Amino acid sequence: MRIAVLDDHAGVFGSLPAAARLAGHDVVAFTDPVRGDDLVARLDGFDAVVLLQQRTPLPADVVERLRTLRMVSQTGRNTSHLALAALAERGVVVSAGGAGGPNATAELTWALVLAAQRHLPAEVAALRDGRWQSTVGIGLNAKTLGVYGLGRIGSLVADVGRAFGMDVLVWGREGSLVRAEQAGYAVAESREDFFRACDVLCVHLPLNADTAGIVTADDLAEMKPDALFVNTSRAGLVAPGALVAALLAGRPGRAAVDVFDDEPVLGAADPLLTLPTVTATPHLGYVERDVLAGLYDAAVDQLLAFAAGTPINVVGS
């Protein structure tokens, strides 16, 4: 088979064990993102494509013009970015499987919190520019950590907050509140109290029809002027434009984000990146070598099964 590996931004695929397992197949890994007509042109001549998480969508208007594609190997089980009906109509097999685990994103969450609280990006830049100590950081001990969504990632983030001596406060659906009580964490009396009380507020929710825009402008306006809002989940959890407007209004005072409305963000073309009160990273949450090795292994399992005529993890329209 001729196989395209899309969005290998850091060029890591070829160095992983998964790549060696495709010996005998013609594999091309692409580091640069493309969309629309460019994506159609890129995939022309390929039998199969590997999609890493939701980096590249396959909408119907693209799928309808894919002449040679016979198989999509998707890492993870989220297929919301794929036009499954259009793919099925063209006889393209979609296999989706594997999982990354919560640890890498939880670790990145705390890297962002610490970087924002202690102004690390500014201090590193100042030191390299010949200056010495230009900011005063904010500690975490005895502060209130808010965790919106106490699932696998949120639970790890909460545990670290407790280790730092923070008071952990939880909000979310019934499952999160039950887990909070079992773990000995406080549950906010109301949504308003949750947003008002937090010194650092981390959102750890999946993005779906129920959670899109779940963090509203009114929620953010309740936050303290010196609070930090952290999002390492999905940008779509926040109502469109609400975070930029809230930061400009001064509540919350700062944000740390790993996710954006339209990714990848090239040329710093996102309004959040214009604000000095924002600490940002380019969706690095799951981008950790062991995680990528596992995700690509799952993708290769699916490719080899398809090549053998026994596809696995097949999803329908």
Task: Choose the catalytic residue: 70, 234, 254, 288.
Answer: 234
DSSP 273: G
3-state class (DSSP) for residue 104? helix
- What number of other Cβ atoms are within 10 A of residue 276's Cβ? 8
Amino acid identity at 281: T
Q: Are 47 and 2 in contact (CB under 8 A)?
A: yes
Nearest-CA neighbor of 168 among 142, 186, 153?
A: 186
From 90, 283, 288, 289, active-site residue: 283
Q: Spell out the residues 6+ positions from residue 224 whose beta carbon is closer than 8 angstroms to its own.
A: 196, 198, 199, 251, 252, 253
Of 70, 191, 263, 288, the active-site residue reads 263
Catalytic annotation on 263?
Answer: yes
In one-letter notation, the amino acid at residue 122 is: A
Written as six digits, the tokens of 142 are 């005895």
Beta strands 93-97; 314-315: pairing state = antiparallel
Catalytic residues: 234, 263, 283
